[in-house]
């Protein structure tokens, strides 16, 4: 099993199926002078993700910010342990933050995994359509992309190698039990297309390189969910 994948300089895939545990979402680490983690996996494999971060040449104790792209447990389950160990700030959109802080078993999809979400405080609640994190070596945009859940977000970094879009769970799925809205999702996907990203780091399907590949992936899912 590989320990990590270099996506571009300073962006690494460090968790998920093939890297930590099949139940984890794909976890991405960005080194912008301060280490930012996009999601944290289901929870039990957090020590493995930590080792992968170290294998990529980053100090996991220096994780500054953990951005939870949405409330689902396969993305947020490791957040409480990560925050305890690294004292990182946890960031989530306001519309999903209550579910994360309360460990809501339905809105977090924990019932799907037959486990519990370890509650964690959300240190920064993103409100509105966009928020920018100013870091030592660059700016990271957090873009509200509702649909899969009400508070789903994407991360956008304009790297020297092109625009990087960490667009977790672009593919869905959708369920009334956790507040999905397919019409809102379609609008969100169009907004992500308008970003013209050069690389898409998706939550379960992997990394797509080149604007044409990114567009084909998103448009393909739009076609499946009319």
Q: What is the mean pLDDT of residues 206-210?
A: 98
pLDDT value of residue 117? 97
Whether the per-residue pLDDT at 149 is higher than 90: the answer is yes
Structurally, the chain folds into a number of domains equal to 1
CATH of the domain at 9: 3.60.15.10
Domain, as residue range, for 140: 5-224
CB 116 within 8 A of CB 110: yes
CB 96 within 8 A of CB 127: no
First-to-last C-alpha distance (Å) of the chain: 37
pLDDT value of residue 157? 98
Residue with tokens 């660059």: 138
Q: What is the mean pLDDT of residues 149-165?
A: 98
pLDDT value of residue 193? 98
**How many angstroms separate the CA atoms of 188 and 181, rounded?**
10
Whether the per-residue pLDDT at 87 is higher than 80: the answer is yes
Q: Cis ω on the peptide bond leading into residue 173 (within 30° of 0)?
A: yes
**How many angstroms separate the CA atoms of 57 and 125, rounded?**
30
pLDDT value of residue 168? 85
pLDDT value of residue 143? 98
Average pLDDT, the chain: 97
pLDDT value of residue 2? 76
**How many angstroms separate the CA atoms of 133 and 40, rounded?**
19
Which of 1-5, 13-17, 68-72, 188-192 is the least confident region?
1-5
How far is Cα of residue 174 from the mean position of the Cα atoms in its chain? 17
Per the DSSP assignment, residues forming a β-bridge with 135 are: 138
Q: Is 172 helix (H, G, I), strand (E, B) or coil?
A: coil
**How many angstroms separate the CA atoms of 4 and 31, rounded?**
14
pLDDT value of residue 226? 75
pLDDT value of residue 92? 98
Question: Both tokens of residue 166?
Answer: 């960490």
Q: pLDDT tens for residues 133-146?
A: 999 999 999 999 99
225 — pLDDT class (breaks 50, 70, 90): confident
Distances (CA, A) of 102 to 37, 66, 149, 150: 22, 18, 16, 16
Q: Is 114 helix (H, G, I), strand (E, B) or coil?
A: coil
Q: pLDDT tens for residues 178-195?
A: 899 999 999 999 999 999
- Tell me the residue length of the chain: 226
**Helix count and strand count (H, E) for the chain:** 7, 13
Q: pLDDT tens for residues 88-132?
A: 999 999 999 999 999 999 999 999 999 999 999 999 999 999 999
């Amino acid at each position: 099993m590989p320990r990590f994948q270099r996506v571009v300089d300073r962006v690494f895939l460090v968790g998920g199926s093939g890297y930590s545990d099949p139940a984890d979402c794909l976890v991405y680490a960005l080194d912008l002078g301060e280490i930012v983690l996009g999601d944290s996996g289901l929870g039990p494999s957090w020590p493995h993700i930590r080792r992968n971060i170290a294998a990529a040449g980053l100090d996991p104790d220096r994780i500054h910010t953990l951005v939870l792209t949405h409330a689902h447990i396969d993305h947020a389950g490791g957040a409480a342990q990560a925050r305890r160990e690294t004292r990182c700030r946890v960031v989530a959109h306001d519309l999903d933050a209550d579910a994360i802080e309360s460990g809501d078993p339905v809105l977090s999809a924990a019932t799907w995994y037959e486990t519990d979400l370890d509650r964690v405080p959300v240190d920064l609640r993103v409100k509105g359509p966009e928020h920018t994190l100013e870091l030592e070596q660059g700016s990271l945009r957090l873009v509200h992309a509702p649909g899969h859940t009400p508070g789903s977000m994407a991360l956008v970094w304009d790297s020297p190698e092109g625009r990087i879009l960490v667009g977790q769970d672009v593919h869905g799925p959708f369920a009334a039990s956790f507040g999905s809205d397919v019409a809102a999702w379609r609008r969100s996907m169009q907004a992500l297309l308008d970003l013209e990203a050069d690389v898409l780091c998706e939550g379960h399907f992997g990394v797509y390189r080149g604007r044409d590949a990114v567009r084909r992936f998103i448009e393909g899912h739009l076609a499946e969910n009319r």
